[in-house]
C-alpha cells in the first residue's frame, strides 16, 4: 500500500529549531531514554501538532521547548537563540489545571500583566475575555467554571501576554468530545486572528488533522520523529472529505493502528 501522505520539506525560515535532541531521565536507579535524536523546525506563525502514543515523550519534548527541562544532548533554538529557561515570550498552556484557583478568571488572564499601567491591563484582559467568549464570567473563580471554560481562561491568559510562541500540552484532553470540537474551532479562529506560532501536543489523530499545518508523528519511546506530514486541506476543513479520511487512515497506519475497532 502506498501511503497517501506527503512528507513535508523543512520550512525555509524557522522560528523554532530543534537539533539532535536527546533526553534521558533518571528513574528509580536507572535512566530512561525518552527522546532520541529529535530534529524539528517550525516556521513563524505555523500551527504544528506533535502526535504520538501516550507516554512516548511528547510532553517531555514540549517541556524542553518551553525551557522547563534541559536536554541531555542537542539544542533548541528560538529566533536563533538557545532556549535555557522559561520565558514570558513563549507561554506554556497546561491542561486546565494550570489556572490559579485563588484568582478570578479576569485576574488569571491579567496575571502576567502586572507591569502594565492599570488601564491598559484592564483593556487587554477585557479584549481576551471577549475573544475566548467568557464575557459575564470575569469574576468567577476557576472552581465555579466548567472544564471547557477553564481551558478558555488558560488560553486567554497565555494570549494576553502577547507571546510569539504558544506550547499547548493536550489542552483539550480532559474535555468531553463536543466541547473539544468547539474549542478546536475557536483555537483556529484565534490563531487566524493572532497568528502565533503554536506547538500543539496531542495523541488524537483526528485532532491533529483538524488543526495542524503539519503533523510531527513521533515513534514509541525512546521517541524520535517518524515523519512530518503536511496537511494539505484548506480551512475550514471538511471532516468527511476524501483527503481528510486518507490522512486519518494514512497516519493511523503509520503509527500502526488497525482500521477497525
Partner 1 sequence: MSVRRRLEALAWPASSFAAVLAAWQLAVTASRSTTFPAPLAVARGFAELAARGVLVPYTADSLMRVLGGFLLALSAGVPVGLVMGWYPPAARALEPVVQILRPISPLAWIPVSIVLFGIGNGATVFLIFLAALFPIVVATSNGVRGVPELYLSAGRNFGLSPLALFRRVLLPAILPQVLVGLRIALGISWLVVVAAEMIAIDSGLGYLVIDARNAGKRYDLVIAAILLIGGIGLVLDLLARRVERLPRVRWGFPRSDGG
- Which residues sit at the interface with partner 1, rule CB under 8 A? 66, 68, 85-88, 90-92, 94, 97-98, 100-103, 111-112, 141-143, 161
Q: CB-wise, 67 or 250, nearer to partner 1?
A: 67
Nearer of residues 51 and 93 to partner 1, judged by Cβ: 93
103 vs 174 by CB, closer to partner 1: 103
Residue 189: C-alpha distances to residues 14, 123, 133, 184, 211 (Å): 23, 21, 12, 9, 11
Judged by beta carbon, residue 57 or residue 163, the one nearer partner 1 is: 163
CB 158 → partner 1: shortest distance, Å?
9
- Least gap, CB of 10 to partner 1 (angstroms): 28
Which is nearer to partner 1, 41 or 201 (by Cβ)?
201
Residue 3 C-beta: closest distance to partner 1, Å: 38
28 burial class (0-12, 13-18, 19+ CB within 10 angstroms)? Answer: exposed
Which cell goes with 224? 524520535
Give the shortest CB-119-to-partner 1 separation in angstroms. 20
User: For 20, left (φ over 0), alpha (ψ -120 to 50), or beta?
Assistant: left
Q: Which residue has the cell 501511503?
A: 3
Q: Between 169 and 254, name the residue whose CB sits nearer to partner 1.
A: 169
In the complex, the smallest distance separating the C-beta of residue 235 from partner 1, rounded to whole angstroms, is 29
Q: How far, in Å, are 7, 18, 20, 40 from residue 225 at the CA level? A: 12, 11, 11, 8
Q: How far apart are CA 235 and CA 230, in angstroms?
A: 14
* Closest distance of CB 20 from partner 1, Å: 25
Amino acid at each position: 500500500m502506498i501511503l497517501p501522505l506527503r512528507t513535508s520539506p523543512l520550512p525555509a525560515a524557522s522560528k523554532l529549531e530543534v537539533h539532535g535532541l536527546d533526553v534521558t531521565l533518571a528513574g528509580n536507579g536507572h535512566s530512561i531514554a525518552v527522546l532520541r535524536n529529535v530534529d524539528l523546525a517550525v516556521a513563524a506563525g505555523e500551527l504544528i501538532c506533535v502526535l504520538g502514543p501516550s507516554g512516548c515523550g511528547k510532553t517531555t519534548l514540549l517541556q524542553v521547548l518551553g525551557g522547563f527541562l534541559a536536554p541531555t544532548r542537542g539544542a533548541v533554538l528560538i529566533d536563533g537563540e538557545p532556549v535555557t529557561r522559561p520565558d514570558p515570550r513563549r507561554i506554556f498552556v497546561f491542561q486546565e489545571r494550570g489556572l490559579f484557583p485563588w484568582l478570578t478568571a479576569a485576574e488569571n488572564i491579567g496575571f502576567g500583566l502586572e507591569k502594565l499601567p492599570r488601564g491598559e491591563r484592564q483593556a487587554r484582559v477585557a479584549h481576551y475575555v471577549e475573544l475566548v467568549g467568557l464575557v459575564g464570567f470575569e469574576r468567577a473563580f476557576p472552581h465555579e467554571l466548567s472544564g471547557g471554560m477553564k481551558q478558555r481562561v488558560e488560553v486567554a491568559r497565555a494570549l494576553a501576554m502577547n507571546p510569539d510562541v504558544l506550547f499547548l500540552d493536550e489542552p483539550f484532553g480532559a474535555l468531553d468530545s463536543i466541547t473539544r470540537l468547539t474549542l478546536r474551532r475557536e483555537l483556529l479562529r484565534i490563531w487566524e486572528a493572532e497568528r502565533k506560532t503554536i506547538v500543539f501536543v496531542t495523541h488524537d489523530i483526528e485532532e491533529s488533522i483538524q488543526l495542524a499545518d503539519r503533523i510531527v508523528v513521533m515513534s514509541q519511546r525512546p521517541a524520535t520523529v517518524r515523519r512530518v506530514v503536511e496537511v494539505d486541506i484548506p480551512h475550514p476543513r471538511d471532516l468527511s472529505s476524501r483527503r481528510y479520511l486518507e490522512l486519518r487512515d494514512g497516519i493511523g497506519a503509520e503509527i500502526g493502528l488497525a482500521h477497525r475497532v
